Amino acid sequence: MVDPTYRPGELPEPPELSDAQVHLRSWTYNDLACIEEASRDPLIPTGTTIPSPFSHEAGLAFIERQWQRSISGEGLSLAITETGADNAVGLVCLLHRQQPGVVGVGYWTVGSRRRLGLARNGLILLSRWALSLAAVARLEALVEPGNAASIRVLEAAGFRREGLLRSYLEQPPVRADAYLYSLTAEDLAHSTRG
């Protein structure tokens, strides 16, 4: 059921999103260990706002930025936890694009919890919920061509590659190419019809 008070540029608080493997929830100050582990990853801090180097204050500021995304209407950021455990092991988020009805997705998991399907399941849960909202027509993801793990996550969640955006991502001191992936409600309808 779509929240009748929904307005473009806002995402309502999601329902409890979980399956047998993952549970998505709001970030809490108790999630600093996850942020600290992510800050030591060679890749996560380059494409996110994860603080590197980590400090207690920078970790708290990261959590507050995640809350602010929902308050400001920028999007929605949720912690990925394993079902039955409450410690955060990753992030999945929705971020509004300039084009109405288009929302970007992002995700990561800490190195110690990779290759377990947690990012995939978190992305599936959040993307299906987002596409159930009347004002969300399309989800997009940008991924560097060499990021095979992220590409596997997107494809396993049903996202389709649309093209290569050359020199698209700014990652000082260089620019990087990005594949554009998308998922629409129509894609989901076709996949269920089989």
**Edge-to-edge strands of the sheet including 174-184?**
17-18, 22-25, 75-82, 88-96, 102-109, 138-143, 174-184, 160-171
Q: Mean pLDDT over residues 48-73, rounded? A: 92
pLDDT for residue 170: 86
Query: Is 6 within a domain?
Result: no
CATH of the domain at 185: 3.40.630.30
- Structural domain of 170: 17-193
Answer yes or no: is pLDDT of 4 > 80.
no
pLDDT digits (tens, 9 = 90+) for 17-52: 999 999 999 999 999 999 999 999 988 988 888 999
Predicted pLDDT at 193: 54
Tell whether 42 is covered by a domain.
yes
62: part of which helix (H) or strand (E)?
Answer: helix 56-72
Q: How many CB atoms lie within 10 A of CB 192?
A: 7
Number of domains in the chain: 1
Q: Within a domain: residue 4?
A: no
Residue 5 lies in a domain: no
**Helical H segments across 102-147, by residue range:** 118-131
Domain membership flag for residue 127: yes
State pLDDT tens for residues 139-166.
999 999 999 999 999 999 999 999 999 9
Mean pLDDT of 87-115: 94
Mean predicted confidence (pLDDT) in 66-78: 90
User: What are 125's two structure tokens?
Assistant: 């849960």
Determine, yes or no, domain membership for 9. no
Residue 91: name the closest of 137, 160, 44 by CA: 44
